[in-house]
Amino acid sequence: MSNSPVTPRSLLVPGLALALAGSLALTATQASAQDSGKREAAAPPARQQAGGLAKQATATGYGGAVSSVDPTATRVGLKVLKQGGNAVDAAVATAAALGVTEPYSAGIGGGGYFVYYNAKKQKVSTIDGRETAPAAMKGDAFIDKATGKPYNFTPELVTSGVSVGVPGTLATWDRAMRKWGTLDLAGAMKPARKVARKGFRVDDTFRSQTLDNKVRFDAFTSTRELYLPGGDAPAVDSVFKNKALARTYAIIARKGIKAFYNGKLSGEIVKAVTAPPKTSTTKLPVPVGSMTRADLKNYKAIPQKPSKVGYRGYDVYGMAPSSSGGSTVGEALNILEQYDVGSMSDADALHRYLEASALAFADRGKYLGDPRFVDVPLDNLLSDTFAKERACSIDPAKALTKPVAAGDVAAYDGVCTPAAAQNGAVDTDTENISTTNLTVTDKDGNVVEYTLTIEQTGGSGIVVPHRGFLLNNELTDFSTVYVAADPNRIQPGKRPRSSMSPTIILKDRKPFLALGSPGGSTIITTVLQMIFNRIDRDMTVQEAIAAPRATQRNTANVTAEPAFITAYDALLKPLGHKLVPAGDAFTSAAEIGAATAIEFGRKGKVTAVAEPVRRGGGAAGVVSKRRR
């Protein structure tokens, strides 16, 4: 691709200044003061979590940084950095803490994707820690044998043992720590054990997510006991303790991950999947799974090469399949690079952003799956020539009729020809929005971008009895009905297609920006739009994250946040884009994503940023506000 950066043009966002107002730097010193119940007298007001912990969206400084959705987890990561740990140590410590404070989004019962930049080697590496289907899982596993029809997705399939994949999170942590960390896994998990044992303050988000899942959680004795004591969710500002999880973390600290994958815990996980601890009062059917101890014993977190594209002089690294994130973000960027979007009007630039995303999603649906089972034409999908030919489809004056057809990776030459009939198939999307993301860097310039999940808000709803963690329902990311030509069809041992898109962007082999987000398939468009905002539209990284979002995933309508509709509907409607409000089926929240990012400046200065508002706002912090 071209190495000549396009002259950017500022994209004005209504209400952006208000959304960013009050963002403060959370330093390690402030975090320590807050942990002991103190408040700095000179600090201006900030968003508060119950218990007085400030959620501060922007932090600028030196010596390392952490950004996550949760102030307790961010504080844990900062403490590890301050005590001399590196980015990998702090990332695993932060993730383990999120397993305590954000248990409905992530935890050791799930999986994810880990992207690491080694500053000394100037190299990006990744770990695929995605969950796998059990060896005995059949292609018709999501078909109700009594009716011959697919289970209803909600609530039957999502609340089940059959939707539970073999967890990959612990294997990911262990591989990352052994290869790149300076602590051992027990040392990295120690702060989270303390949080689980002593408890954390419940905020509005934790309580509301619990209540949103009340029917599902009430279906299992173990889950009801932990999260619905006395029949109600924990009260806001109460202290929630998870001593069972603290004990589980302690077992893993003593015995290593073999206790989870090949010990007593593995048998307890299998029992929870194959004979879920149902309550006598639930009316949910809870289909059972087929996982065995051998599935856990045989699980491996896989090291693999990242995806890579060049974009306007930057190198963009992401997750290769089994994730579709790196390829789809990369292809869309390659298509966008055919245009000087930085010099365009808002309407023309956003039109091309939406159309590039739709085209890339069409190719995602046809070609992307687990490469150990599917021949994924990754090099073709990320080819500049292929992108040039795909860009030929975009009409500058009119939106394409959706769904658009996938491109032909077997025959392309970059030459524009008359557009083919648009008869593409809709990429059925069952990937849930509830995931979490964290971004970490250390004093040496190493970087971790990590997205982890248990899929649904609350995963499968099944807490492993006496162990304090929820199991995932990631296998719902497979296509419900088995079709032989579908690259995302169910197969034993296969990883379901994911949209997780942890991304690290380099400039001259050094970090420029690391970013990622939760949000199901909207993860791809959230990461894409933030890169577009930052590089092409002259926004700061804070503005790029706060800006209102829209997602076009090869569907008839564009799903958008209300602020985006207010700002741009009148500009985009004449081009044929129909904007409809975003909404989560469980919470009706009209939000897309909950990103974290770190941008790298001169002489070691970093800017860590989390969401200022979405999902209650995130928490960014730096080790020191001043260069040492």
Q: Which of 248, 435, 436, 439 is catalytic?
A: 435
Q: How far is CA 442 from CA 118, 182, 345, 600, in A?
A: 11, 12, 39, 11
Residue 507's H or E segment, with its range, is strand 503-507
Phi, psi for residue 294 in degrees, rounded to 5: -65, -35
| Distance of alpha carbon 380 from alpha carbon 401, whole angstroms | 24
The residues, ordered by sequence, that sit 6+ positions from 354 with a Cβ below 8 Å of its Cβ are 399, 550, 552, 558, 572, 577
User: Which DSSP string do the residues of 522-587 spell out, in sequence order?
Assistant: HHHHHHHHHHIIIIIS---HHHHHHS--EE-SSSSSEEE-HHHHHHHHHHHGGGT--EEE---TTT
Q: How far is CA 364 from CA 371, 407, 409, 539, in A?
A: 13, 10, 12, 28
**First-residue to last-residue Cα distance in the chain:** 39
| Distance of alpha carbon 495 from alpha carbon 182, whole angstroms | 30
Q: Given the structure tokens 């059972």, which residue do they identify?
A: 288
Q: Given the structure tokens 């599935």, which residue do they identify?
A: 295
For 169-201, give one letter per residue: b (16+ CB within 10 A) or e: bbbbbbbbbeebbebebbbbbbbbbebbbebbb
**What's the half-sphere exposure (Cβ side, CA atoms, 13 Å) at 323?**
37
| Distance of alpha carbon 43 from alpha carbon 571, whole angstroms | 41
| Distance of alpha carbon 381 from alpha carbon 241, whole angstroms | 47
User: Which DSSP string do the residues of 159-185 spell out, in sequence order?
Assistant: SSSTTPPBP-HHHHHHHHHHHH-SS-H
Asked about 551 being catalytic, the answer comes back as: no
Q: Rounded to the nearest 5 degrees, what angle is found at the Cα of 552, between the Cα atoms of 398 and 399? A: 5
The residues, ordered by sequence, that sit 6+ positions from 424 with a Cβ below 8 Å of its Cβ are 362, 365, 402, 403, 404, 405, 406, 554
| Distance of alpha carbon 506 from alpha carbon 60, whole angstroms | 19
Closest CA to 573 of 354, 343, 347, 344: 347
Q: Given the structure tokens 């129909």, which residue do they identify?
A: 578
Asked if residue 155 has a cis previous peptide bond (ω within 30° of 0), the answer is: yes
Q: How far is CA 469 from CA 187, 190, 211, 306, 492, in A?
A: 20, 17, 18, 30, 25
Tokens of residue 434, six digits: 């509830």
Type of residue found at 330? G
Give the Cβ contact number of residue 239 at 10 Å.
13
- Catalytic positions are 435
